[in-house]
C-alpha cells in the first residue's frame, strides 16, 4: 500500500531522475504481446478442442455486441504475414500464448499434432526473423473438457497443467528461452469465478478461494517440471496496481491495505515469501481452505523472473458491498482515463516496480503488458494517428526508465498489444493495438504509435528524452 496519493501535477518528472543515463541498456528486450483467443480465430480448426472462452463468448449476453473470437485477427492463418509485420516494426521479442485445447483437445491425454505444429511453425518463423519467442502457457482459455471436470476449482488441475507444460517444454524448449506459466492469476480468479464477467462466468466466493489456491499449485508444478525439463528461464505474469487511499479516512486507508493484499500480494507473497497475506484469510473467512506447508513449498518454487502487467493505479475507496475485499477503485476528475475507464498514471509504474524491488528482493522483471485503449480515428491515406496512445507509451517508458535508474532489475518491455484484437467481454469495441486491424478485410495498418515504438527500439529509448 502507498500512503501518499500522487496528484496529477505533483509527481516527480521521470525525465528529471538524477541518475538516469540516456537510453536503456543493450540487451533490454523490446517486444509486443498478444494472447491466443484474442487474435488467432479458427478456434476449432484442425482438431482443436473448445475452450471456455469459445463457449462463453457464444453464450447470449456475455460479450459486448455479441461478438466472439471466431475470426479475431485470423492470426492462425495469417501468422507468416504477422511475423513479417513484427520484423518491420523492429520487434526483438514477441510474447504470445498457447491455446491449451489446440494441443490437447481434451486438456490431457491425446495430443493433437496439427495444433502443436502451428506453434512450432510460429516459433520457427519468429526465430528466422530474429525475434525471440516468449511463451505464455495459460492466458485464460481452459479446455472445456477440463472445465467439465471442475476446471480451476479442481485440485487435479495442477497435474493437468504440469503435464501440458511438459509437453510444450519438450516440443519447443530447444527454441524458446522465456516461459510464463500463468497470465494474471488474480483476473482468472476474480473475473472468472467471483465477478463472473469473464469465462467461465461463475459467481461463487468459495469456488474463487479454491481457484486462487489451485492456480498457485499449478504454477508451482509447472515451474518444478521446468527445472527437470528446461534449460532457460520461467516466470509468471501478474497484474499489479499500486493502491492509494482515496481519502485520509481510516476506512479508506484500511480498504487500501485490503485491496493491495487482494490484488498485489495474494499470489506474490506465497511465491516469493512462502506465506499468504493475513488479510486474505480474513476477507475469505470460512471459504478459505487450508493451504498446507507442502502446498506453500510448491507455490514457492523459485522463478527466474517476474512479469508485471501494468495499466493503471488503484485509488481505493471502502465499499462493503464489494466482495471479498470491501473496496473499489475510483477515479480522480483531474486525471485522463483510457477508453476502459482506467486512469492514466505513469508514475504508478515507478511506484509498483520499486515496491516489487523492496518487498520481493529485486527479482529480474519484464513489463509483460502495458498499453491503452483509446478511440482511434479511421485510417486516412494509410495512416492512423493515435497521439493519446503515443503519449501513454512515451510516459510509461520514461517511468520504466526511471525505475531502472533507481535500481529496479528491469530486463524488458512488451507493449500490449501488437494488434487491435478481441478484448474479452468488451469484444472488438476496445482497441489496444499498435497496429490497426480492419474487421472486414483483416488489413493491418501500423498506427503512429507503432512508428513511435520502432524509434524507441532503434534508439534504445534515447529518443524518449528528446520528446
Query: What residue ranges bind ligand FCB (CB under 6 A)?
Result: 35, 38, 183-184, 187, 239, 309, 369, 416, 423-424, 432
Q: Annotated catalytic residue: which of 67, 241, 347, 369?
A: 369
- Shortest spacing between CB 12 and ligand FCB, in angstroms: 27
Q: How far apart are CA 433 and CA 312, in angstroms?
A: 17
Q: What is the 3-state secondary structure (H, E, C) of 383-414?
A: ECCCHHHHHHHHHHHHHHHHHHHCCCCEEEEE
Active site residue 282: no
- Sequence-distant (6+) residues with CB within 8 A of 269 are 275, 276, 277
Closest CA to 180 of 239, 100, 235, 99: 235
Nearer to ligand FCB, 229 or 426 (CB): 426
Nearer to ligand FCB, 108 or 219 (CB): 219
- Shortest spacing between CB 239 and ligand FCB, in angstroms: 5
Q: Annotated catalytic residue: which of 40, 67, 184, 343?
A: 184
- Shortest spacing between CB 191 and ligand FCB, in angstroms: 9
Nearer to ligand FCB, 187 or 268 (CB): 187
C-alpha cell at 196: 463472473
β-bridge partners, 2:
none
Nearer to ligand FCB, 33 or 350 (CB): 33
- Inter-residue contact 271 to 296 (CB < 8 Å): no
Active site residue 279: no
Closest CA to 268 of 306, 297, 317: 306
* DSSP code, position 143: B
Q: How far apart are CA 71 and CA 78, in angstroms?
A: 11
Nearer to ligand FCB, 35 or 436 (CB): 35
Pairing assessment for the beta strands 243-245 and 314-318 based on DSSP bridges:
parallel
- Shortest spacing between CB 309 and ligand FCB, in angstroms: 6
C-alpha cell at 436: 490497426
- Shortest spacing between CB 391 and ligand FCB, in angstroms: 18
**Residues acting as catalytic residues:** 184, 369
Amino acid at each position: 500500500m502507498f500512503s501518499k496519493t500522487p496528484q496529477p501535477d505533483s509527481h516527480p518528472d521521470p525525465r528529471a531522475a538524477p541518475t538516469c543515463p540516456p537510453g536503456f541498456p543493450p540487451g533490454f528486450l523490446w517486444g509486443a504481446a498478444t494472447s491466443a483467443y484474442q487474435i488467432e480465430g479458427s478456434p476449432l480448426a484442425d482438431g482443436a478442442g473448445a475452450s471456455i472462452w469459445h463457449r462463453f463468448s457464444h453464450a447470449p449476453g456475455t460479450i459486448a455486441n455479441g461478438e466472439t473470437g471466431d475470426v479475431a485477427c485470423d492470426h492462425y492463418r495469417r501468422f507468416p504475414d504477422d511475423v513479417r509485420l513484427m520484423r518491420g516494426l523492429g520487434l526483438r521479442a514477441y510474447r504470445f500464448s498457447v491455446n491449451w485445447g489446440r494441443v490437447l483437445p481434451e486438456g490431457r491425454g491425446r495430443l493433437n499434432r496439427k495444433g502443436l505444429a502451428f506453434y512450432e511453425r510460429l516459433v520457427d518463423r519468429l526465430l528466422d526473423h530474429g525475434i525471440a519467442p516468449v511463451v505464455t502457457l495459460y492466458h485464460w482459455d481452459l479446455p472445456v473438457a477440463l472445465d467439465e471436470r471442475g476446471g480451476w476449482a479442481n485440485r487435479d488441475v495442477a497435474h493437468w497443467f504440469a503435464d501440458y507444460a511438459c509437453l510444450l517444454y519438450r516440443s519447443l524448449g530447444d527454441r524458446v528461452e522465456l516461459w510464463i506459466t500463468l497470465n494474471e492469476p488474480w483476473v482468472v480468479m476474480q473475473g472468472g469465478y467471483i465477478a463472473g464477467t469473464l469465462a467461465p462466468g461463475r459467481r461463487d466466493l468459495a469456488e474463487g478461494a479454491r481457484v486462487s489456491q489451485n492456480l498457485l499449485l499449478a504454477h508451482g508444478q509447472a515451474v518444478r517440471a521446468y527445472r527437470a525439463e528446461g534449460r532457460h528461464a520461467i516466470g509468471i505474469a501478474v497484474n499489479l496496481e499500486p493502491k492509494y487511499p482515496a481519502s485520509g479516512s481510516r476506512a479508506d486507508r484500511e480498504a487500501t491495505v485490503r485491496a493491495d493484499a487482494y490484488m498485489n500480494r495474494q499470489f506474490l507473497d506465497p511465491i516469493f515469501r512462502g506465506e499468504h497475506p493475513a488479510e486474505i484469510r480474513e476477507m475469505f473467512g470460512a471459504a478459505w481452505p487450508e493451504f498446507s506447508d507442502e502446498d506453500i513449498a510448491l507455490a514457492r518454487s523459485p522463478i527466474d523472473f517476474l512479469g508485471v502487467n501494468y495499466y493503471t493505479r488503484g485509488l481505493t475507496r471502502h465499499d462493503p458491498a464489494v466482495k471479498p475485499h470491501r473496496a473499489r477503485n475510483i477515479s480522480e476528475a483531474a486525471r485522463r482515463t483510457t477508453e476502459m475507464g482506467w486512469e492514466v498514471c505513469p508514475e504508478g509504474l515507478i511506484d509498483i516496480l520499486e515496491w516489487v524491488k523492496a518487498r520481493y528482493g529485486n527479482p529480474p522483471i519484464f513489463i509483460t503488458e502495458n498499453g491503452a485503449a483509446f478511440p482511434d480515428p479511421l485510417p486516412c491515406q494509410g495512416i492512423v494517428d493515435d497521439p493519446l496512445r503515443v503519449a501513454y507509451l512515451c510516459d510509461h517508458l520514461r517511468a520504466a526508465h526511471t525505475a531502472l535508474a533507481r535500481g529496479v532489475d528491469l530486463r524488458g518491455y512488451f507493449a500490449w498489444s501488437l494488434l487491435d484484437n478481441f478484448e474479452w467481454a468488451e469484444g472488438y469495441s476496445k482497441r489496444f493495438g499498435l497496429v490497426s486491424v480492419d474487421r472486414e478485410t483483416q488489413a493491418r495498418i501500423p498506427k503512429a504509435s507503432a512508428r513511435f515504438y520502432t524509434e524507441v527500439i532503434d534508439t534504445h529509448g534515447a529518443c524518449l528524452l528528446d520528446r
